[in-house]
């Protein structure tokens, strides 16, 4: 990957959208680049969540209860709630093609928050926006 690609990719993640370039660079340093072969299960529905993934290349299939839900492509991400809560995954994500992903573990992200407390405040604001949006959708459905 190019030198600033991780930071540039993280900039597109809603959860990190309020972070400064320096904060994003710190988060990028905590990420690992991993690969997955086609048909590899990346996360499994019901399993405890520990990692956030951002798709750098390739495609993934999302299923819930064995039923197709979505296809994820480069720039999309999943598992962001696992950065805050190790609760069970609500879907299975399987590599539809060979993939390259940025992986951020809960422990590594916790270290970023310990070093940069301002990131935690920004993250809470983004989570509140997401919760408010989900609540509005639930009320209108």
Mean pLDDT per segment of 10 residues, for the chain of length 141 residues? 72 87 92 97 95 96 96 93 89 97 94 86 81 78 60
Pairwise CA distance, residues 133 & 42, whole Å: 27
What is the per-residue pLDDT for 141?
60
Torsion of CA 36, 69, 77, 56, to 10 degrees: 40
Task: Residues 5-140: name the CATH superfamily.
Answer: Jelly Rolls (2.60.120.10)
Helix (H) or strand (E) holding 126: helix 117-140
Sign of CA dihedral 24, 25, 30, 33: positive
Q: What is the pLDDT of residue 2?
A: 43
Question: Residues of 10-45 as b/e, b for ≥16 C-beta within 10 angstroms?
Answer: beebebbeebeeebbebbbebbeeeebeeeeebbeb
């Amino acid at each position: 990957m190019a030198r600033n690609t991780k930071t540039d990719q993280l900039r597109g993640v809603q959860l990190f959208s309020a972070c400064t370039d320096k904060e994003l660079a710190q988060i990028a340093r905590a990420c690992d680049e991993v690969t997955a072969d086609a048909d590899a299960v990346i996360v499994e529905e019901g399993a405890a969540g520990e990692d956030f993934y951002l798709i750098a290349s390739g495609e993934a299939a999302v299923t819930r209860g064995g039923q197709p839900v979505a296809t994820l492509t480069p720039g999309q991400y999943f598992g962001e709630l696992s950065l805050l809560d190790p609760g069970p995954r609500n879907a299975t994500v399987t590599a539809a093609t060979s993939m390259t992903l940025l992986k951020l573990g809960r422990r590594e992200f916790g270290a970023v928050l310990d070093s940069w407390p301002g990131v935690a405040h920004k993250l809470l604001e983004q989570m509140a926006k997401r919760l408010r949006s989900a609540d509005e959708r639930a009320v209108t459905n």
